Amino acid sequence: WIFSKKLKLPRNSCLILKNFNESEDGENSCGFVGLVGKPNVGKSTLLNYLLGQKLSITSRKPQTTRRNLLGVDTRGSKQAIYVDTPGLHKTSGKALNKYMVKDATSAVKDVDILCFLTDCRSVIEDEEWILSLMSRPRVKRLAIISKIDLLRDKQLLLPKIKNLRETKLFSDIFPVSALRKNGLSELRSKIFELLPVGTHLFPDDQITDKSERFLASEIVREKIMRQLGDEIPHCSAVIIEGFSREKKVIRIRAQIVVERDGQKRVVIGKSGDRLKKIGTEARKDLENLLNHQVMLHLWVKVKRGWTNNSLEMGQLGYD
Ligand code: GDP
Ligand code: MG
């Protein structure tokens, strides 16, 4: 598991943590908070900024996030468990696309608070089908208008706010910019206020449900998506074949799976330049995340048509 660097407590400190955790009236609160919306509206970026730690990968391309990821934020007696989703979009026939939308839809059903993210420049008509999924009883709903740093004239937000109000779905509407850190503390306070009473489901220093191996594979995938423009649209997966923690260094061996020989050539680049750059960028992020020196070895393999083959997808971890 990945633990935050902030709290470094001895292993037998559970009791201390528990006492530290109780609020004055002794009541803890804890709940799941779903981040939903179309791909590319800034869900993963928002999660990273709310947590103050890069956990979920982001890129300019839609559908960067492929499966739900939990990000846990515990402050005193309150624990918010954010569910970052792959984003809701109308599915094309491919098995991988269907898998992603299924994961995102399940998050809408199972959470205590739903945060609907919408890009400040988008029109509500395109998102009505997502809003229709959200009218579930007993769930608290917030609307988040993202990327407001991109609007020079903030007056332009007014029609969007009006449209969102008219849906009568949301108790509050928050215009935010994750990149400029605008509106985030107000949003976080509201989320914490709405959490239901309940015991914490994760230890207070744990920040995700995912293993270090999973996060390592995601970081490599992010670098591929960011560096390869549209040349590798959706066809890569990363398998961690080796992950060994030694005294001074963590050794990671990762296989990049693509669909075609041409894509393999693109990922490797001229005299291996591209692969080297992907490796360097990924290693820097991994060292930050794992707080340890990292040796990363990457290689590329072709598996034809894996994004449309459920069996192959299972073998690559999308089961
Ligand atoms: P997701 O698909 O909804 O998870 O979106 P991402 O978090 O991957 O973000 C998609 C793109 O929007 C990335 O290129 C981000 O850098 C960009 N982005 C996210 N938040 C902001 C923001 O507050 N302002 C601006 N200008 N760009 C943002
Ligand atoms: Mg995402």
What digits encode the pLDDT tens for the residues 141-184?
999 999 999 999 989 899 999 999 999 999 999 999 999 999 99
- The values of phi and psi at residue 166, to 5°, are -65, -20
Q: Does any ligand 1 atom lie closer than 6 A to the CB of residue 85?
A: no
Q: Does any ligand 1 atom lie closer than 6 A to the CB of residue 266?
A: no
DSSP run (H or E) holding 265: helix 261-268
SS3 of 317, please? Answer: coil
pLDDT above 70 as % of the chain: 80
Reported as a single tens digit per residue, the pLDDT across 212-264 is 999 999 999 889 988 886 666 566 789 999 999 998 999 999 999 988 888 89
Strand 293-302 versus strand 249-258 pairing type: parallel
Q: Tell me what the pLDDT averaged over the chain comes to.
A: 84
In this prediction, residue 99 carries a pLDDT of 65
The radius of gyration of the chain's CA atoms, rounded to the nearest angstrom, is 20
Strand 29-36 versus strand 78-84 pairing type: parallel
Alpha-carbon gap, residue 69 to 72, rounded angstroms? 10
Ligand 1 probe mutation, 44, 45, 234, most atoms within 8 A of CB? 45
Ligand 1 probe mutation, 50, 56, 58, most atoms within 8 A of CB? 58
DSSP class of residue 196 equals P
In this prediction, residue 131 carries a pLDDT of 87
Report which residue type is found at 231: E
pLDDT at 20 over 60: no
Higher pLDDT, 295 or 93: 295
Alpha-carbon gap, residue 52 to 276, rounded angstroms? 29
Report which residue type is found at 202: F
> What global pTM score does this model have?
0.82
Q: Does any ligand 1 atom lie closer than 6 A to the CB of residue 42?
A: yes
In this prediction, residue 112 carries a pLDDT of 94
Higher pLDDT, 13 or 306: 306
CA distances to 81, 141, 160, 166 from 171, rounded to whole Å, are: 20, 6, 15, 11
In this prediction, residue 71 carries a pLDDT of 94
Ligand whose nearest atom lies closest to the CA of 88: 1
DSSP class of residue 304 equals T
Give residues with Cβ within 8 angstroms of 138, minimum separation 6.
none
- Averaged over 103-126, what is the pLDDT? 85
Q: Does any ligand 1 atom lie closer than 6 A to the CB of residue 149?
A: yes
Give residues with Cβ within 8 angstroms of 128, minimum separation 6.
none
Question: CB–CB of 38/58 below 8 Å?
Answer: no
Reported as a single tens digit per residue, the pLDDT across 69-95 is 899 999 999 999 999 987 776 665 667
- Averaged over 284-308, what is the pLDDT? 89
Higher pLDDT, 48 or 310: 48
Distance 172 CA to ligand 1 centre (A): 22
- The values of phi and psi at residue 73, to 5°, are -125, 110
* Residue owning tokens 């989703």: 85
Distance 307 CA to ligand 1 centre (A): 25
Highest mean pLDDT range out of 63-67, 70-74, 125-129? 70-74
Q: Whose Cα sits closest to atom 9 in ligand 1? A: 42
Alpha-carbon gap, residue 96 to 229, rounded angstroms? 20
Report the Cα 158 to chain-centroid distance in Å.
Answer: 29
Residue 164: which of 146, 143, 190 has the closest Cα? 143
Q: Does any ligand 1 atom lie closer than 6 A to the CB of residue 64?
A: yes
In this prediction, residue 237 carries a pLDDT of 86
In this prediction, residue 182 carries a pLDDT of 96
* 138 confidence band (pLDDT: 50, 70, 90): confident
**Number of other residues whose CB lies within 10 A of the CB of residue 157:** 15
Residue 254: which of 295, 289, 225 has the closest Cα? 295
Q: Does any ligand 1 atom lie closer than 6 A to the CB of residue 146?
A: yes
Q: Does any ligand 1 atom lie closer than 6 A to the CB of residue 118?
A: no
CA distances to 41, 129, 197 from 138, rounded to whole Å, are: 26, 20, 14
* 1 confidence band (pLDDT: 50, 70, 90): very low
pLDDT at 52 over 50: yes
* 123 confidence band (pLDDT: 50, 70, 90): confident
Alpha-carbon gap, residue 75 to 86, rounded angstroms? 26
Ligand 1 probe mutation, 40, 51, 218, most atoms within 8 A of CB? 40
DSSP run (H or E) holding 116: strand 113-119
Reported as a single tens digit per residue, the pLDDT across 261-275 is 888 999 999 999 999
In this prediction, residue 12 carries a pLDDT of 31
Question: CB–CB of 87/38 below 8 Å?
Answer: yes
